[in-house]
């Protein structure tokens, strides 16, 4: 059974760096094709994809946020960490990590399992 759980601070001040951790179980980020992504959702708004890391340590970022994001993995701890620098009040959102979906044994860019999310508020 695959599970993912996000953790991080609930409150961050503007201009600070936000660090979020996704701890997962039920799969390995060393298995070919596996990927874990981060998606956020401002209160009452739509979903926005942020970043994804592959089993081979390849990384993809949202073009609009690329300069502020870093994603890394720690396979020994089954964790994926996302850092966002210079946060603004507009970064207030629920942040989700999610497992990249597969079809016929191949990975694709939909997300079949999600964590419950963590609400991050950016405010002074």
Partner 1 sequence: DIVMTQSPDSLAVSLGERATITCKSSQSVLYTSNNKNYLAWYQQKPGQPPNLLIFWASTRESGVPDRFSGSGSGTDFTLTISSLQAEDVAVYYCQQYYSTPPTFGQGTKVEIK
Q: How far is the CB of 70 from partner 1 (least distance, A)?
A: 16
For every residue of the chain, DSSP letters joined together read --EEEEE--SEE-TTSPEEEEEEEESS-TTSTT-EEEEEEE-TTS--EEEEEEETTS-EEE-TTTGGGEEEEEETTTTEEEEEE-S--GGG-EEEEEEEEEEETTEEEEEEEEE---EEEEE--
Is residue 95 within the footprint of partner 1 (CB under 8 A)?
A: no
Q: Is there binding between residue 112 and partner 1 (CB under 8 A)? A: yes
Q: Compute the least distance from the CB of residue 102 to partner 1, in Å.
A: 10
Within 8 A by CB and 6+ apart from 65, the residues are: 50, 51, 84
- Residue 109 and residue 17: Cα distance in Å, rounded? 27
Q: Does 111 bind partner 1 (CB under 8 A)?
A: yes
| 7 or 15: CB nearest partner 1 | 7
Q: Return the residues of window 46-75 that contact partner 1 according to CB under 8 A.
A: 46-49, 60, 62-63
Residue choice 54, 71, 93, 117 for contact with partner 1 (CB under 8 A): 117
Q: Binder to partner 1 among 38, 73, 87, 115 (CB under 8 A)? A: 115
Residues between 7 and 36 that touch partner 1 (CB under 8 A): none
Binding site for partner 1 (CB under 8 A): 46-49, 60, 62-63, 96, 98, 101, 103, 108-117
């Amino acid at each position: 059974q695959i599970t993912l759980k996000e953790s991080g601070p609930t409150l961050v001040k503007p201009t600070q760096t936000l660090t979020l951790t996704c701890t997962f179980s039920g799969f390995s980020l060393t298995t070919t094709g596996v990927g874990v992504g981060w998606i956020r959702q401002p209160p009452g708004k739509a979903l926005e994809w942020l970043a994804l890391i592959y089993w081979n340590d390849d990384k993809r970022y949202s073009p609009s946020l690329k300069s502020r994001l870093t994603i890394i993995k720690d396979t020994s701890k089954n964790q994926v960490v996302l850092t966002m620098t210079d946060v603004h009040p507009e970064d207030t959102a629920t942040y989700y990590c999610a497992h990249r979906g597969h079809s016929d044994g191949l990975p694709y860019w939909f997300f079949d399992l999600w964590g419950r999310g963590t609400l991050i508020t950016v405010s002074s």
